[in-house]
């Protein structure tokens, strides 16, 4: 299959490298100079240093050429860049099926990726979300990984899951697009909270409680928006949540760890050098939860720390001293 991967960041490069062993893959990025460097060095030194890229992977700065040649398009840009990417795709009269791997809401509109596709590509029905517990670095290095591919077209999901699976990358088909998107977005917020918890050295008990109650928050909002409860018990819910709240490769967890040390948010983000989707997602989710009447105390507290200067110790006290209530 001819794949066009749009976005040469960590995740786009990792997936392109993984699929290049059994597909014809072209990787597009907006920075032609970086693509030239990747072509010459066979490594993405900015996002995936130390991870050699296969010789078969092609790098192409020509957006139109990549799209026109593709039998499947994979959008791997950050959530904030999804709208302009879809607008560019809308200029092409005949698009193949497309997948998106970004995790989050559009800043400002609070729209999920499938909603943006419905708005900008209303006639395009063959699409889906690819999500699940996955660090780009480990995928690029060929470590075993399992993901979920969700589409409203179950037959398409099954076909693409089979085609994109490999020896070290296993993909499961699903039809709950909303649930998969919500899980992928909200786990980043919970990863920030877990980083704060561990940065304050509150112990394993506290982290376990945080993960469990974070999953409850994710599920409440997801079901309210139309997702399925069981989706949040799967790879794109609990699986992704466990990974990002406990693994130090998580950029969002790193944000929390540094917040706990008293670092300024702007400094943290500039030093990371990567997009931490949980920062923008937290604000959108808190507003959406308020609109929907869904109680999300962890998300609300993370927002207060990120944007209102609430000290980490006070944030923990506020969460622990909430009114006692039933667990379910």
What CATH number is associated with residue 63?
Answer: 3.40.50.720
* Pair (37, 81) in one structural domain: yes
Label each residue of 38-106 as H, E or C: HHHHCCCCCCCCCCCCCCCCEECCCHHHHHHHCCEEEECCCHHHHHHHHHHHCCCCCCCCEEECCCCCC
- Least trusted range by pLDDT, from 23-37, 144-158, 221-235, 310-324: 310-324
124, 153, 175: which is the final residue of a domain? 175
**Domain that includes residue 281, residue range:** 186-320
Residues 131 and 231 in one domain: no
71 belongs to a structural domain: yes
17-42: average pLDDT = 96
pLDDT score of 322 more than 90? no
Is residue 142 located within the same domain as residue 22? yes
State whether 147 and 191 are in the same domain.
no
| Domain at 243, CATH number | 1.10.1040.10
**Is residue 104 domain-shared with residue 154, that is, in the same domain?**
yes
CA distances from 104 to 111, 131, 178, 207 (A): 9, 11, 11, 23
Per the structure, the count of domains in the chain is: 2
Verify that 37 and 70 share a domain, yes or no: yes
Q: Are residues 98 and 135 in the same domain?
A: yes
- Report, as an integer, the average pLDDT of 89-100: 95
The pLDDT assigned to 177 comes to 98
- For residues 280-298, average pLDDT: 95
Prediction pTM value: 0.94
Q: Judge whether 86 lies within some domain.
A: yes
pLDDT of residue 274: 72
Q: So what's the pLDDT on residue 319?
A: 86
Predicted confidence (pLDDT) per residue in 100-147, tens digit: 999 999 988 999 999 999 999 998 989 999 999 999 999 999 999 999
Query: Are 66 and 145 contained in the same domain?
Result: yes
Q: pLDDT by residue (tens digit) across 53-67? A: 999 999 999 999 999
What phi, psi does 129 have (nearest 5°)? -110, 135
- Within a domain: 297: yes
**Where in the sequence numbering do the catalytic residues fall?**
187
- Neighbouring residues of 115: CB distance < 8 A, sequence distance ≥ 6: none
pLDDT, residue 125, reads 85
- How does residue 277 score in pLDDT terms, banded at 50, 70 and 90? confident
> What is the average pLDDT score of the chain?
95
Q: Which residues fall within 8 angstroms of residue 63, CB to CB, at 6 or more apart?
A: 6, 28, 88
Is 44 within 8 Å of 7 (Cβ atoms)?
no
Give the pLDDT band (50/70/90) at residue 5: very high
């Amino acid at each position: 299959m001819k794949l066009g991967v749009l976005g040469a960041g960590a995740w786009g490069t990792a997936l392109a490298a993984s699929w290049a062993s059994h597909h014809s893959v072209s990787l597009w990025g907006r920075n032609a100079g970086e693509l030239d460097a990747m072509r010459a060095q066979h490594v993405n030194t900015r996002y995936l240093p130390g991870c050699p890229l296969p010789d078969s992977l092609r790098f192409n700065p020509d957006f139109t050429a990549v799209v026109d040649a593709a039998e499947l398009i994979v959008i791997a840009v950050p959530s904030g860049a999804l709208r302009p990417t879809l607008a560019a795709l809308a200029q092409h009269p005949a698009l193949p099926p497309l997948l998106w791997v970004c995790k989050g809401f559009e800043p400002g509109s609070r729209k999920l990726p499938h909603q943006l596709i419905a708005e900008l590509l209303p006639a395009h029905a063959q699409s889906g979300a690819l999500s699940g517990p996955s660090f780009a670095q480990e995928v690029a290095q060929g470590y075993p990984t399992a993901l979920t591919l969700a589409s409203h077209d179950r037959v398409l999901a099954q076909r693409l899951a089979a085609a994109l699976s490999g020896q070290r990358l296993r993909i499961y088909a699903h039809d709950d697009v909303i649930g998969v998107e919500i899980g992928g977005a909200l786990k980043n917020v919970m990863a920030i909270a877990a980083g704060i918890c561990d940065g304050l050295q509150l112990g394993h008990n506290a982290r376990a409680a945080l993960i469990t109650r974070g999953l409850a928050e994710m599920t409440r909002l997801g079901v309210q928006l139309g997702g399925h409860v069981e989706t949040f018990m799967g790879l794109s819910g609990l699986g992704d949540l466990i990974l990002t709240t406990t693994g130090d490769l998580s950029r969002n967890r790193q944000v929390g760890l540094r917040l706990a040390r008293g670092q300024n948010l702007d400094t943290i983000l500039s030093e990371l050098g990567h997009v931490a989707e949980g920062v923008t997602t937290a604000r959108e989710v808190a507003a959406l939860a308020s609109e929907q009447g869904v109680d999300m105390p962890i998300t609300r507290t993370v927002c207060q720390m990120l944007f209102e200067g609430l000290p980490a110790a006070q944030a923990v006290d506020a969460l622990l001293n909430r009114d006692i209530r039933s667990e379910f």
